[in-house]
Amino acid sequence: MKKRLDVIGKPRRRVDGRAKVTGHLRFADDLAMPRMLHAKLLRSPHPHAVIERVDVEKAKKHPGVHLVLTGRDFPVPFGIMPVSVDEFPLAPERVRYVGDPVAAVIAKDEQTAVEAIGLIEVSYRVLPPVSTPEEGLQNPEPRIHDYGEQGNIHRNQSYEFGDIDESLKKSDLVFEDLFFYEGNTHLPMEQQASLAFLDGEGKLQLSSSTQNPHYLHRQLARVLQIAESRIRVVATPNGGGFGGKCDPGGHEFVVSKAALVLGRPVKIGLTREEVFYVHRGRHPVLMKMKTGVTKDGKLTGMHLQTLLDGGGYGSHGPASTFYTGVLTPVTYHYPRFKFEACRVFTNKPACGPKRGHGTPQPRFGQEVQLDKIAGKLGIDPAELRLRNLVKKDSLTASWLRVGSIGLEECIRKVTEMSGWKARRGKLGRGRGLGLACSTYMCGAGVAIYWNKMPHSGVQILLDRSGTVIVYCGATEIGQGSDDVLAAIAAETLGVDTSVVRVVTGDTGITPVDLGSYSSRVTIMAGNAAVQAAERLRAQVAAAVSETLGTLPDRVVFAQGKVFAAEDPSRAMSFVEAVAIAEAALGTLSAVGSYSPPKPPGKYKGSGVGPSPAYSFSACVVETEVDERTGWIHVPKIWIAHDIGRALNPTLARGQVIGGVYMGLGEALMEEQSFRRLPEKLSGALVHRAPSMLDYKSLTSLDMPDVEVALIEDPDPNCPYGAKEVGQGPLLPVMPAVANAIYDAVGVRIDEIPITPDKVLRALENKDKRVGPASFPAVPYPEPTFVLPPWEEGDGKETRKNAAAAVV
Amino acid sequence: MRRNIPLHLSVNGEAAEASVAPYKTLLEVLREDLDLTGTKHGCELGECGACTVLIDGEPQLSCLVLALECEGRAVQTIEGLARGPELHPLQAAFTDFGGSQCGYCTPGVIMTAAALLERNPHPTREEIKEATAGNLCRCTGYNQIVEAIEDAAAKLRAEAK
């Protein structure tokens, strides 16, 4: 009924803004309760060892200690993915990385707990550590885990969509490149913290800095062996997540168990060093990319191989492994595509999901390789990309359905803003421009555990004061999900966000939402909120239509008024309308829920990659490179992001610039790297930098100005057309930096991060390149073979020789 | 045995007293003994700037200052910045310009900015960046923080006229 939008699309102070600038907002570690005790974890000093004995007697006797827990207290393992349940809150018999938690002390204060931790004696039998995937492939024994594909291979997979060898053979040119992307970590400003206690009914409540209270809820029930109905998880506002608070953490189980045993509130706050151990960050990935192309710059196919350094546990690894391949064909049309991926366990903190989850690594390789292809063919890199774009409403070779795609406009916009045509290659020695593109999902099409229930639920309550209360399990991690819910409810009901109260992330109160991961909240919780609000609006419209002298579907809700479409003077306030409806219908409430569409692919493994929609980004980076020092200065970045529609442009722009910031940090300096201690000190594999001082990230002085263009072409699958913006804009930055450095000084740095020493080395190298030199022999399995849609495939697996008969 | 020591200081313009363990930092005393949890911590090693408060008007990392060193001194925290129910121009600008996303670094950056504007009402963009370079933020990408401080500076100058 209403064509103009009053709330959506207008820059607006976020609903939780005031609480954040006044210090009013309570993060997990800001919580305190009477009689609260404090927990501290003892962590392994060895990367790989058998625990032979844990003696806690002295610690137990230490004055002020209330409880000591060890692996024996937690017989049941956990794991965020059902196929990787391989972790214990406290390691019972084996430690798999330096920092693996082994025991816990609960004491009257933190200082006492720290003292008692020092009194626990653990005897370890040290095992040889596996420090890289290559070592893991070479040394199947000792196995880090007794499950997985074989030896120390956790996941190993291969998919082929059409005969790739044939298409590469027929290509005019084939480019083969190796790339490496070093691991890095989320580094949220807030260190994880949790507070557990028993409520008035004796039920467990855990308030925790988690992105996924629903999954944590399920894991707590599993590990503690109590009914889910006796547990309430409250996700406190996260002081940054970026994927680092998706996995359940050992500390969350420890305080929960301790609260159950002691009947007192128990709190834990991790130190910054511990946050580095918890990790679950970006996987280091080695990549081999073989791409065929015609002389006029048409891509013919890609064969991608990846090797992931998984760290000591499964975490989200099975999904991460898929993500190093599956989104590669979403930006450009590859008639055929093959990807093989292998994740190896190593004795380092577990890798997992970080902003972009598994996709920044292959995107880096793909976009740098395209730059090389463009150079070789003498085609402008922007033009090469434009020639190969995926078409709107089409399928990829791998059977992903791409609906709206604003990438063409992103490329045109970003080249225009940066003066690409006039400036690229003409800035003089030492200065350059680089372009890259990317895409990301708007929510994973499949839940982490198999079920047929909705991915998101929203309940909205209206009361006679005119207040709109929105309940949803979504978690505010700083990205603005509360504001998204408020904006959608307000717009749909024709009110201002100031009358909307949002209650989120509380498994005891709010309908299930799967969590703040995979850029799913705007789309999934947003669609559920639209449905709930529309149902409520229909109730109110039915109740007031007679008074307004019109039909229910002619009742308009806008700007706090309810009126007849044909005569806006027949009007009442929203509050009056709600009172009439409440009198007529009773208490007003409605629910909405959302499940993503079924993916078109029917082969085993086709559940990873599908999404209701994909966002797209294009980025141009300018660099100044000092050839004497290798120093890289980035004065300016332009980025265009296809967001469908910006619900709140202030927040959308903030997500874009924040993504660019994190991408630039990864491109230039962030790395989670390790070193081996000398043998006399234990020979352990340790972080080079478990501190913020040594783990380099950009400061305000390093950060360039970012010029943002939001490309708005509303997507029909998304609420008010809004696609994701939390992860996508990070992705094109790293390859754009690499391409800009090439434009500036003619060297190819085929690995991330790109540091001054690598630039200097490349300038000295004959081939003007720094990057991996070889790819190990990985025993990838026989591929699952699926014919692309245009080769008469049906989305199901077939045999390759059967395919040959068809072709 | 550890014995607590009495501490007297001024916090946000009001006299405050506490009996504190001598090893406690100002950060811990503010958060744990005075319930002023608006001041955050991101490392407790002086690396991130999240715990910045003003001590006698100077921005300091409260995680590196022993509480007992603050005997008789004036401490300002984020809780004392607003003017009654009205936001301070810095607070308003941070939320209007998107200078605060998760909000965790925000109190520290705002206090740093408040000290900057106190001593330099006309900072250039470079001066703003330099003043806040010790405050890490993982969400915003800093651009909006700089914009917010510029806006607040203009508003404060207008107020002073």
Residue of A nearest to B23 (CA): A111
Reading chain B (161 residues) residue by residue, the pLDDT tens digits are: 468 999 999 999 999 999 999 999 999 999 999 999 999 999 999 999 999 999 999 999 999 999 999 999 999 999 999 999 999 999 999 999 999 999 999 999 999 999 999 999 999 999 999 999 999 999 999 999 999 999 999 999 999 98
Distance from CA of B46 to the nearest CA of A (A): 9
| pLDDT given for residue A673 in this prediction | 87
| pLDDT given for residue A2 in this prediction | 58
More confidently predicted of B1 and A52: A52
Name which of B107, B130, B122, B111 is nearest B153 in CA terms.
Answer: B122
**Which residues from chain A sit within 8 angstroms of residue B143, using beta carbons?**
657, 703, 705-706
Q: Domains of chain A (ranges plus CATH)?
A: 17-24+454-594 (3.30.365.10), 34-127+189-240+245-278 (3.90.1170.50), 158-184+281-445+603-770 (3.30.365.10)
Q: Does domain B5-80 have CATH number 3.40.640.10?
A: no
- Judged by DSSP in three states, A800 sits in helix
Give how far the C-alpha of residue A774 lies from the chain's centroid of Cα atoms, to the nearest Å: 29
A233: confidence class by pLDDT, cuts 50, 70, 90: very high
Residue of B nearest to A730 (CA): B141
Rounded-to-integer distance, Cα A427 and Cα A322, Å:
40
Find the range with the poorest average confidence among A443-452, A491-500, A660-669. Answer: A443-452
Instruction: Give me the mean pLDDT over the A305-315 stretch.
Output: 98
| pLDDT given for residue A43 in this prediction | 98
Rounded-to-integer distance, Cα A21 and Cα A72, Å:
44
Q: Measured at the alpha carbon of residue A174, what is the angle toward residues A170 and A175, in degrees to the nearest 5?
A: 165
Dihedral in degrees, nearest 10, Cα atoms B88, B93, B94, B95: 100
Whether residue A98 contacts residue A140, with contact meaning beta carbons closer than 8 Å, is answered with: no
Question: A689 pLDDT exceeds 90?
Answer: no
Domain ranges (residues) in chain B: 5-80, 89-160
Instruction: Give me the mean pLDDT over the A619-639 stretch.
Output: 98
Q: How many CB atoms lie within 10 A of CB B85?
A: 5
Out of A25, A191, A478, closest to residue B139 by CB: A478
Out of B39, B90, B138, closest to residue A189 by CB: B138
Instruction: Give me the mean pLDDT over the A436-448 stretch.
Output: 96
**Which residues from chain B sit within 8 angstroms of residue A29, using beta carbons?**
37, 41
Q: Which amino acid is residue B50, in one-letter code?
A: A
Whether residue A715 contacts residue A644, with contact meaning beta carbons closer than 8 Å, is answered with: yes
ipTM of the complex: 0.98
End-to-end CA distance of chain B: 57
| pLDDT given for residue A651 in this prediction | 98
| pLDDT given for residue A334 in this prediction | 98
Give chain A's length: 807
Rounded-to-integer distance, Cα A314 and Cα A320, Å:
10
Distance from CA of B72 to the nearest CA of A (A): 24
Residue of A nearest to B109 (CA): A21
Find the range with the poorest average confidence among A637-651, A672-686, A763-777. Answer: A672-686
Rounded-to-integer distance, Cα A436 and Cα A21, Å:
36
State whether A237 and B102 contact (CB < 8 Å): yes
State whether B81 and A239 contact (CB < 8 Å): no
| pLDDT given for residue A677 in this prediction | 86
Name which of A286, A208, A285 is nearest A241 in CA terms.
Answer: A208
Q: Which of A27, A189, A192 to mutate to test the interface with B (most CBs of B within 10 A)?
A: A189
The number of C-alpha atoms within 13 Å of A491 and in the hemisphere containing its C-beta is 24
Instruction: Give me the mean pLDDT over the A46-74 stretch.
Output: 98
Instruction: Give me the mean pLDDT over the A439-448 stretch.
Output: 95
**Which residues from chain B sit within 8 angstroms of residue A21, using beta carbons?**
78, 87, 90-92, 94-95, 100, 103, 106-107, 110
Instruction: Give me the mean pLDDT over the A465-490 stretch.
Output: 98
Assign 3-class secondary structure to A402-420: ECCCCHHHHHHHHHHHHCH
Give the burial class of A394: count Cβ atoms within 10 A of its Cβ; 0-12 exposed, 13-18 middle, 19 or more buried.
middle
Pairing of strands A674-676, A685-687: antiparallel
Question: A227 pLDDT exceeds 80?
Answer: yes
Report domain B89-160's class: mainly alpha
DSSP, res A497: G
A144: confidence class by pLDDT, cuts 50, 70, 90: very high
Share of chain A above pLDDT 70, in %: 99
Q: What pLDDT, in 10s, does the model give residues A735-794?
A: 999 999 999 999 999 999 999 999 999 999 999 999 999 999 999 999 999 999 999 889
Pairing of strands A748-749, A685-687: unpaired
Q: What pLDDT, in 10s, does the model give residues A79-92?
A: 999 999 999 999 99
Out of A237, A479, A699, closest to residue B136 by CB: A699
pTM exceeding the 0.95 threshold for the entire prediction: yes
A807: confidence class by pLDDT, cuts 50, 70, 90: very low
Q: What pLDDT, in 10s, does the model give residues A4-36?
A: 999 999 999 999 999 999 999 999 999 999 999
State whether B143 and A242 contact (CB < 8 Å): no
String of DSSP letters for A498-535:
GGEEEEESBTTTSPPB--S-TT-IIIIIHHHHHHHHHH
- Judged by DSSP in three states, A634 sits in strand
Give how far the C-alpha of residue A316 lies from the chain's centroid of Cα atoms, to the nearest Å: 11
Q: How many CB atoms lie within 10 A of CB A610?
A: 23
